[in-house]
Amino acid sequence: MLNNSPISQFKYGNHTFFVKRDDLLDKNFNGNKARKLAYYLENDFPATNTIISYGGNQSNLMYSLSCLAQLKNWQFIYYTRSLSKTVKDSKQSNLELSLKNGMQLIELDKEYNQFTSSLCTTSNQLLICQGALQIEAEYGIKQLAEEINKWAVLNYLESINIFLPSGTGTTAFFLQKHLDKHQVITTNCVGSRDYLIEQMSSINYDNSKLPLVIDNKQYRFATPYEELLTTIREINKVSQIEFDLIYDPVGWKILLENLETIKGSILYLHCGGLTGNYSMQQRYNYLKNKSATS
Ligand SMILES: *Cc1c(COP(=O)(O)O)cnc(C)c1O
């Protein structure tokens, strides 16, 4: 079982930040993806021998599914859009590592949307939606919420703020559902604020309170921005913690910009994802070289 990740803290400016270190759950199978998939890891599925999923070609979930499949001794079939040569050749990337773990990759072209929205599976196959935006994710995220609750009680913190950047919002949504004394705050990294709220609402079967979403209007998903790199380098240096280069630069930038509106202690949830850093760093280097030569 993967649980009870430690909580570190660091000071930046006048603020103390606590960090829930889900990046340390396990070397390979970690972060919020390990929490989302804990249900599959900790239960038995005697009829299952294959995972079916789909989505982006460098996705953190894809890599975590390849780890889960390995741990369970299952096959893993993953559908994605046709790959560019740069992506195919990418080294030390989620794609390369997932293929090394035995993932069977199927590239689809124009038919991708239609195919993935109407995927049918047989009884030996487990279908995991893009981003694991599904009710099974609640199991492991509830466990994470209980760890945070316990820590807050032990430290006499009646009400704290838990911050994390969102993709589908699955993690933020289930955390808020199980942290009713505390405030979960997030920001949209993929698509608009409205889209994030729509995604969270799609798994809100019992009308739970949604987390607070601070609007990110500026930064597009997985796109390098000079000022985001500056922010995350600064946070890496001060905290002595390595953060992910896709979600966390947006997360920290938005959090720091809105600090004065947040009252009370802040616990930042480290969602793992470090295996994707090498390939994202390459894109940042490319941006740097381009601006240096132009
Ligand atoms: C997947 C991921 C997220 C977003 O998780 P959601 O539950 O889809 O909102 C945030 N940070 C990292 C590092 C991730 O890998």
**Token digits for 174?**
């289930």
C-alpha radius of gyration, the chain, whole number: 19
Fold of 7-27+138-293: Rossmann fold (3.40.50)
Q: Where in the chain is the domain with CATH 3.40.50.1100?
A: 7-27+138-293, 34-135
**C-beta 249 within 6 A of ligand 1:** no
Residues 6+ apart with CB under 8 A from 116: 54, 79, 108, 130
What percentage of the chain carries pLDDT values higher than 70? 99
In this predicted model, what pLDDT tens digit does every residue of 44-102 receive, in sequence order?
Answer: 999 999 999 999 999 999 999 999 999 999 999 999 999 999 999 989 999 999 999 99
Helix (H) or strand (E) holding 266: strand 266-270
Query: Closest Cα to atom 15, ligand 1: which residue?
Result: 273
CA–CA gap between residue 143 and residue 150 (Å, rounded): 11
Q: Pull the structure tokens for residue 76.
A: 């893993």
The pTM assigned to this predicted structure is: 0.96
Q: What is the pLDDT of residues 106-149, one digit of tens each?
A: 999 999 999 999 999 999 999 999 999 999 999 999 999 999 99
Classify residue 76 as exposed, middle or buried by CB count within 10 Å of its CB (0-12, 13-18, 19+): buried
What's the pLDDT at 292? Answer: 74
Residue 287 confidence class, pLDDT cut points 50, 70, 90: confident
- 34-135 to CATH, choices 2.40.50.100, 3.30.420.40, 3.40.50.1820, 3.40.50.1100: 3.40.50.1100
Best of 170, 271, 279 for a ligand 1 pocket test (most atoms within 8 Å of beta carbon):
271
For residues 176 and 122, give the distance between their C-alpha atoms in angstroms, rounded to a whole number: 34
- The whole-number pLDDT of residue 1 equals 67
Residue 265 a catalytic site member = no
Ligand 1 within 6 A of CB of 60: yes
Residue 229 DSSP SS3: helix
Cα-to-centroid distance, 37 and ligand 1 (Å)? 13
Nearest to 218 by CA among 254, 265, 180: 254
224 lines ligand 1 (CB under 6 A): no
